């Protein structure tokens, strides 16, 4: 890959370094100080700080010790391998970590050696502690940094006994699975008990405008450089936001809008069954009834996000999940029902129907299956519900005095025929419901380019879409032929470890492959429509090297997780200055 | 798509037409007659016939009636919708068709209306009969033509009673599920009972050099035009051959070599368990023992194919199947074991180990998972077994006086680092085993370009590979983000039916997407290595429009199923003449 990243994978754990937040804070204070002293200008100051440093300054940390109590006892100190602080239950096994995280526990995964089998555990852990310091530990630490998960490596004092689910310390103390522990990945500390966590002063200031007098120099340095980054950056910075709370957080952290609102996320938790009912429905009438129940839930989600992001663009993406995601796990359900049958116990007819539906919608490769534009075209009633929900949400916001600015994203487009047909249908649905939704909705409809074919035929698609969005996660998956879900627990760590890859293409944009297709697509599309606007969403939206690439390529905005918005703003400003490290 | 195909999808069943083989035979005889009369030259004659016509002339047909018996009774006559003849068991339900085909039955699927749910049945049927004649029937017929499966549509006389698993005829006769029937898709006939099948005179002549006097005019016309096609064509025509029998058939039908020999196919049937044992092995020692058992089986496969294709190139592809394919179905096994447990019956420890392994190697998207180059790099012992088997097969052929010409295909390459590493390892294994395999093996190592990233970085990969092969099936899957296995039973028929697609990209190469990437890759690679040779394998290898595209693009050879080799030779000749319809 042609781009490096500050979260580069190292082949071994780095040696001990100064606490992350300290160094990063110094960089900001020093740069701002030189500006105050008129030694350098703001551009130069911005060049001297990085998004990675700001990212560290935004991570939560341990709050002041509780009065009269002091810090929790130190168990050991290892190598600070990924910054941030977290508390949780000590777990010595990745499978247990996954189970406990699924049950809502905060989990600290503690391992002697990490292999591919640990990856699912690392993905769900709130912090990771590794006693080894080899190349495998280095890969795991790199992954943790990419995930924003605190990690301590080389904690060699801990002698883990996995069978007994405990760890021994040289002084005779014993850490037992289930104990509460606290990890500071910036200092390398592992403590017994739950330290109180606090937002960092910078995060607190950005979210509230308030700060402690002692933090004023740091906070104003960050604020000064972020403001300058906003002044010089050409790239818009939006956030992924599926809920009003996320949209609010994004707005407070300076997002220019929402780059990705996932409509299917309105149906997580108990609301999942609403989609399940529509899939299970045995008759047209039952399906219509089930779809009608989706509408208010979808509308409430969209009204919440549009309301919080008032007067700023909100890109709402049509349903993009395989339908199997809304049904119980097929294998587990088959086993459950077979067990009942074998025991002669009665089977729940609803579960029998669920299994039949799960079999029906089962796909060998759901990543390459029925979702996005394909779902909208083959299940037009679902598209109608979604568009009507959006129109209703707009009406609701307007009635409350707002000026909502929705955009519609059509995902998984492979051919311009798809965008053309969906655009026609959406316009017709909007026309038909103009009366009930309180006026016309001026909806710009964008094509999501996340399949190689869409990038190669971008000139044709440009003629059928109002704007483009590149979905870089899925585009990376199809360009590489690599299922992220499978690869992050298998081939990727192996490839990183063996040096076949220098960095995960899911963390830093693969310039030679994915990036090449994006820049060709943009050039071709703008020959047809010179004013065509294009955004990006995906894990790359706040990665420094990727942002530099998007800036250079002529992308108009990136979108990232709300808490990463300040990082993306800073890096977008740095990218605009050029001549970077 | 920019290319049309003779097997284009029609939106409704075509009206009755003259029997396929008759018309096609006329075309060949007439063209050859005009040459004999010196009215036209051979080039013109070749332009007047098509691969689709030759394909029809190669299909089996009903042999002469058995003496004193006559034809089996005619049940009904419908629209000839896909040529060819077949016999089999009448089945009225796609699920039953799949079950019976899996049990080794020849199946004739008979349906009133076909929907997406019928697709799995159509894929396994030996013939298809549809009573309706609507657009859905048209899609099904197009699919059958693409598969080379005889199909009769519009057989409106049959009144199917699916619940009773039978069909009624106007004259009171009843066709019951399980009855033997015979279908001629070229005449539209459905008969009760199994007609004897015979190879067509043309197929018989090409395979044996013999012919019946009455067939001489046709057979010599075909032969004359095929010989001319061979003279003018620039594209090599190889065949996919996994067994000695397939290689032999391919050679008799004029293949220039083997374009694809799938090493994993040596482990179908009972030999599957050999791979399973290697996957299940609990210790390094057990794994080494299991891998050692793979070697003779692999060597025998390769020696068989190399022996039959002596002195012609044989491209052997490294293991390219997800490991889960070599284990029993995970859900079925889980259900089976849970049922035993619930009934208090003892579980077979081997089955318990199988399930554990199936869980371990399970992938959410196996299409985008651990296979090809990735498997070779992460399981180097398997690569070693394969290379040693190939070296052994070469030694075996040489000892028998042959001149084997193996080539090695490295599938699923995403980055030049992969081919470079694998090439190094293969060379080292060959050097280390030169003694035992009886001399050096001069093995050219090619990269299979079947991921978009490989096509985009073809210039880099060209520096690490001796030649290229484009795997157009997988490239179509990743470029479109479309799992063929899932799509052919779901979204593709829906898209064809709604007119969103004009043809399946798996039948005729998608010029604007997949084709564009292939031609760019070739141009870029040949700037680095002007002499670089490139082949193609996949379903497109004998499709006329695709062959025209490959010819124009500068591909060196195509590979197709052995029985389609004459079709590909003819079309490659026609492509070389240019100015085609």
**Where is average pLDDT lowest: A10-19, A388-397, B277-286?**
A10-19
pLDDT score for A431: 92
Task: Check the CA dihedral B219-B222-B226-B232 and report its sign.
Answer: positive
Q: Does A53 touch chain B (CB under 8 A)?
A: no
Cα–Cα nearest to A404, from A247, A206, A205 = A247
Residue A35's pLDDT band, with cuts at 50, 70 and 90, is very high
What confidence tens digit (pLDDT) does each residue in B363-390 have?
A: 889 999 999 999 999 999 999 999 999 9
Q: List, in sequence order, every residue forming a beta bridge with A80; answer none if it has no partner.
A: A152
Cα–Cα nearest to A563, from A156, A249, A308, A167 = A249
Residues of B whose CB is below 8 A from A450: 481
Instruction: State yes or no: pLDDT of B99 exceeds 90.
Output: no
CA angle A157, A160, A161 (to 5 degrees): 145
Is the Cβ–Cβ distance between A457 and B512 less than 8 Å?
A: yes
Q: Does B490 touch chain A (CB under 8 A)?
A: yes
What confidence tens digit (pLDDT) does each residue in B469-488 have?
A: 999 999 999 999 999 888 87
Contact check, Cβ <8 Å, A490/B370: yes
Percent of chain B with pLDDT over 90: 69
Contact check, Cβ <8 Å, B339/A338: yes
Residue B437's pLDDT band, with cuts at 50, 70 and 90, is low
* Residue with token string 């029997």: B19
What confidence tens digit (pLDDT) does each residue in A102-157 have?
A: 788 899 999 998 877 787 788 889 999 999 887 778 778 877 887 789 999 999 99
Q: Summarize the confidence of residues A54-71 as an average pLDDT.
A: 86
Q: Are strands A557-560 and B61-62 parallel, antiparallel or unpaired?
A: unpaired
As a whole number of angstroms, the distance between CA B554 and CA B534 comes to 8
Does the ipTM surpass 0.85? yes
Instruction: State yes or no: pLDDT of B8 exceeds 80.
Output: no
**Where is average pLDDT lowest: B4-18, B58-72, B128-142?**
B4-18
The beta-carbon neighbor of B364 closest among A335, A483, A500 is A483
As a whole number of angstroms, the distance between CA A55 and CA A340 comes to 51
Per-residue H/E/C for B155-192: CCCCEEECCCCEEECCCCCEEECCCEEEEECCCCEEEE
* A-to-B residue pairs, Cβ atoms closer than 8 angstroms: 188
Q: How far is A376 from chain B (nearest CA, A)?
A: 12
Instruction: State yes or no: pLDDT of A309 exceeds 80.
Output: yes
Instruction: State yes or no: pLDDT of B3 exceeds 70.
Output: no
Q: Does A30 touch chain B (CB under 8 A)?
A: no
Is the Cβ–Cβ distance between A278 and A366 less than 8 Å?
A: no
**Where is average pLDDT lowest: A28-37, B147-156, B523-532, B549-558?**
B147-156
Q: Summarize the confidence of residues B63-84 as an average pLDDT.
A: 88
Residues of A whose CB is below 8 A from B368: 365, 367-368, 477-478, 481-483, 486-487
Instruction: State yes or no: pLDDT of A3 exceeds 60.
Output: no
Q: Summarize the confidence of residues A324-333 as an average pLDDT.
A: 89
Instruction: State yes or no: pLDDT of B155 exceeds 60.
Output: yes
Residues of A whose CB is below 8 A from B452: 452, 478-479, 481, 513, 517
Cα–Cα nearest to A569, from A228, A70, A63, A203 = A228
Q: Specify the DSSP element, H or E, that contains B382.
A: helix B380-399
Instruction: State yes or no: pLDDT of A11 exceeds 70.
Output: no
Sheet with A166-168, edge to edge strand ranges? A159-161, A166-168, A174-176
Instruction: State yes or no: pLDDT of B97 exceeds 80.
Output: yes
Termini Cα distance of chain A: 17
pLDDT score for B163: 86
Instruction: State yes or no: pLDDT of A333 exceeds 80.
Output: yes
pLDDT score for B453: 98
Distance from the Cα of residue B302 to its chain's centroid: 19
Cα–Cα nearest to B457, from A536, A546, A479 = A479
Encode B6-29: b = buried (16+ Cβ within 10 Å), e = exposed: bbebeeebeeeeebbbeebbebbb
Window A:350-369, CB contacts with B under 8 Å: 363-369
Instruction: State yes or no: pLDDT of A543 exceeds 70.
Output: yes
Instruction: State yes or no: pLDDT of B9 exceeds 80.
Output: no
Residue B69's pLDDT band, with cuts at 50, 70 and 90, is confident
Q: Tell me what the pLDDT averaged over chain A comes to.
A: 90
Task: Check the CA dihedral B516-B519-B523-B525 and report its sign.
Answer: positive
Which phi-psi region, left, alpha or beta, contains residue A381 (left: φ > 0; alpha: ψ -120 to 50)? Answer: alpha
Task: Check the CA dihedral B279-B282-B284-B285 and report its sign.
Answer: negative
Window A:276-335, CB contacts with B under 8 Å: 330-331, 334-335
pLDDT score for B21: 59
pLDDT score for A579: 59
What confidence tens digit (pLDDT) does each residue in B232-257 have?
A: 999 999 999 999 999 999 999 999 99
Q: Number of helices (H) and strands (E) in chain B: give both, helices first.
A: 24, 21
DSSP letter, residue B108:
E
């Amino acid at each position: 890959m042609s781009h490096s990243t500050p979260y580069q994978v190292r082949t071994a754990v780095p040696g001990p370094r100064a606490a992350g937040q300290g160094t990063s804070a110094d960089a900001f204070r020093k740069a701002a100080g030189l500006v105050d002293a008129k030694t350098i200008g703001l551009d130069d100051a911005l060049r001297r700080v990085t998004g990675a440093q700001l990212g560290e300054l935004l991570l939560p940390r341990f709050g002041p010790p509780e009065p009269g109590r002091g810090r929790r006892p130190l168990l050991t100190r290892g190598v600070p391998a990924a910054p941030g602080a977290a508390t949780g239950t000590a777990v010595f096994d990745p499978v247990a970590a996954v189970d406990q995280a699924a049950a809502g526990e905060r989990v600290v995964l503690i391992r002697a050696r990490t292999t591919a089998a640990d990856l699912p555990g690392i993905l769900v852990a709130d912090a990771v502690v590794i006693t080894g310091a080899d190349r495998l530990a280095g890969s795991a630490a790199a992954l943790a940094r990419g995930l924003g998960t605190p990690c301590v490596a080389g904690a060699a004092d801990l002698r883990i006994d996995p069978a007994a689910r405990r760890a021994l310390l040289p002084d005779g103390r014993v850490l037992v699975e289930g104990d509460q522990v606290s990890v500071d990945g910036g200092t390398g500390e592992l403590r017994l008990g739950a330290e109180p966590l606090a937002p960092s002063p910078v995060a607190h200031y950005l979210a509230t405008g308030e700060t402690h007098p002692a933090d004023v120099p740091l906070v104003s340095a960050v604020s000064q450089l972020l403001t300058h980054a906003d002044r010089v950056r050409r790239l818009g910075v939006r956030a992924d936001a599926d809920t009003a709370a996320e949209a609010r957080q994004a707005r407070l952290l300076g997002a220019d809008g929402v780059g990705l609102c996932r409509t299917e996320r309105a149906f997580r938790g108990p609301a999942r069954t609403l989609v399940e009912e529509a899939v299970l429905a045995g008759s047209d009438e039952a399906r219509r009834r089930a779809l009608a129940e989706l509408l208010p839930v979808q509308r409430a989600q969209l009204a919440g996000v549009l309301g919080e992001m008032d007067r700023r663009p909100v890109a709402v993406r049509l349903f993009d999940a395989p339908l199997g995601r809304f049904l119980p796990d097929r294998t587990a359900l088959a086993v459950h029902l077979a067990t009942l049958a074998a025991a002669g116990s009665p089977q729940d007819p609803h579960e029998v129907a669920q299994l039949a539906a799960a079999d029906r919608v089962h796909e060998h490769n759901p990543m390459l299956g029925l979702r996005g534009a394909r779902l909208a075209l083959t299940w037009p009633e679902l598209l109608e519900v979604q568009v009507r929900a959006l129109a209703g949400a707009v009406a609701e916001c307007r009635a409350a005095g707002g000026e909502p600015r929705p955009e519609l994203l059509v995902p998984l487009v492979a051919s311009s025929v798809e965008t053309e047909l969906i655009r026609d249908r959406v316009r017709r649905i909007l026309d038909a419901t103009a009366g009930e939704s309180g006026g016309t909705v001026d909806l710009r409809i964008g094509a999501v380019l996340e399949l190689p074919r869409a990038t190669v035929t971008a000139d044709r698609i440009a003629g059928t879409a109002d704007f483009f969005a590149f979905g870089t996660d899925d585009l990376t998956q199809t360009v590489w032929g690599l299922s992220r879900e499978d690869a992050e627990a298998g081939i990727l760590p192996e490839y990183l470890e063996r040096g076949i890859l220098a960095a995960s293409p899911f963390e830093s944009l693969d310039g030679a492959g994915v990036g090449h297709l994006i820049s060709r697509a943009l050039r071709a599309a703008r020959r047809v429509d010179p004013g065509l606007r294009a955004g990006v969403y995906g894990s790359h939206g706040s990665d420094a090297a990727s942002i530099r690439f998007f800036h250079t390529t002529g992308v108009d905005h990136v979108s990232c997780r709300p808490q990463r918005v300040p990082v993306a703003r800073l890096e977008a400003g740095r990218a605009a200055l050029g001549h970077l490290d």
